[in-house]
Amino acid sequence: MKIAARDVAGLLKNPGTRFSAYLLYGPDQGLVRERASQLSSHFFDQPDDPFAQTSLTGTQLADDKARLSDEAMAVNIFGGLRVVTVSGSGSEMTAAVKLAFSQPNPDARIIIRASDVNTRHALVKLCDETEFCASIGCYSDDMRNLQQIAREIFAKDNITAAPDVMTAIVARLGSDRQVSLSELSKLALYAGPDGVLGLEDVAAALGDSGAVAVDEVSIVLLSGDVGAFERDYARLRHEGIQPIAVLRQLLSLFKGMQAARARMQTGQPAAQAVAQLRPPVHFKMKPIVTRQLGLWREHQITDTIERLMQAEIQTKSAASANPATLTGQILLGICLRARQLNRQR
């Protein structure tokens, strides 16, 4: 049974007895692991108790399709639920899951983690259509969710951060929930109880190598240098910087350009309008952003923002193409537009 996004939190808090199996899948594997752990904690007191739970891999199930059924039907000699967790890419365990579902054990709980499936995959369809299985998609946090998570973590130690600081924090977080939680915990530790976080603290605690690398791509992108863009974007991918982080930083940049254009319409010089942006533009970026404000018209900036927002939505979709390839195509289009604008100067 497919679980709606609005119902996931309640189910994780109180699974009840309606479901005896759970599928967790989607692009945010950190969130998949977190939710699988939340579910497991409801079913046994000792996570390392071999009599209460068994962990299987997709490879094991591919070699022995009856293994999952056998483990789920095994009796916990000390009583209580039998919990079987399975992790794999997806396709290699579909047959085993289908066999296990044909003979369910009400005294067992099966928790399946799939890393390479989408909503059209046979495993997802099977779980969506099985009444006693909860099928839960795990998608990357958007900026609003990340800000809420950050506020909850900071509230535990009464840590405060201004809105522009919170925006800067979220811009540095990626698409993996566990990585984001780790980074936010690092910030909380850096600030300490009753601390106040500033922009300098964010840069010091989280580092800015990834952000600087994206700034370098942004510079060649706005310059319309296609060859340099392709080279630098390939380096970003090699360094493991998440496409969603690239999109969010560029989205923040173009929203800043939009805000600066609005200030310029009131008579402010471009340099002053850029200097007042929050979060502030990196010093390396200020000269080029100031120059570009004289080239980009308001409707062109708005169109670019819409393209970046749509790209972010697409990268979060389990049915989308490779996120890095999709992001590269969108950014190449922006680079080509920038090249045309620079030639008109």
Lowest mean pLDDT among 26-30, 127-131, 149-153, 317-321: 317-321
Q: Report which DSSP code applies to 22.
A: E
CATH number of 209-343: 1.20.272.10
Confidence of residue 57 (pLDDT cuts 50, 70, 90): very high
* Per-residue pLDDT, 312: 82
Domain with CATH 1.20.272.10 in the chain: 209-343
Confidence (pTM) = 0.53
Give every CB contact of residue 191 below 8 A, 6+ residues apart in sequence. 154, 157, 159, 197, 201
**What stretch(es) of the chain map to CATH 3.40.50.300?**
5-137
Cβ 126 vs Cβ 101: under 8 Å: yes
Look at residue 317 and tell me whether its pLDDT is greater than 70: no
Q: Quick check: 313 pLDDT over 60?
A: yes
Q: For the domain with range 5-137, which CATH number is right: 3.40.190.290, 3.60.15.10, 3.40.50.300, 3.30.70.3270?
A: 3.40.50.300
192-244 tens-digit pLDDT: 999 999 887 887 777 554 566 677 788 888 989 898 888 888 877 877 777 88
Question: Mean pLDDT across the stretch 269-274?
Answer: 89
Listed range (30-44, 144-158, 175-189) with the worst mean pLDDT: 175-189
Q: Is the pLDDT of residue 264 over 70?
A: yes
pLDDT of residue 49: 56
Q: How many CA atoms lie within 13 A of 290 on its CB side?
A: 17
Secondary structure (3-state) at 160: strand
What architecture (CATH level 2) is domain 143-206?
Answer: Orthogonal Bundle (1.10)
Question: Where does 16-148 show beta strands of DSSP type E?
Answer: 21-25, 53-57, 82-88, 108-114, 133-137
Q: What is the pLDDT of residues 4-13, one digit of tens each?
A: 988 998 999 9
pLDDT value at residue 153: 93
pLDDT at 112: 97
Helix axes 226-238, 209-223, angle to 10 degrees: 160
> How do strand 108-114 and strand 133-137 relate by DSSP bridges?
unpaired
Stretch among 101-115, 133-147, 259-273 having the lowest mean pLDDT:
133-147
- Mean pLDDT of all residues in the chain? 86
Q: Is the pLDDT of residue 293 over 60?
A: yes
Residue ranges of the chain that CATH labels 1.10.8 = 143-206
Q: Which of 304, 294, 300, 302 is nearest to 271 (CA)?
A: 294
pLDDT at position 212, please? 61
Contacts of 288 (CB under 8 A, 6+ apart): 219, 222, 223
Point out the least confidently predicted range of 36-45, 102-111, 138-147.
138-147
SS3 at position 240: coil
Work out the average pLDDT over 17-43: 90
Q: What is the pLDDT of residues 63-86, one digit of tens each?
A: 999 999 999 998 766 667 889 999
Predicted confidence at residue 320, as pLDDT, reads 54
Q: Tell me if 59 sits within 8 A of 89, measured CB to CB.
A: no
- The residue with greater pLDDT, 277 or 303, is 303
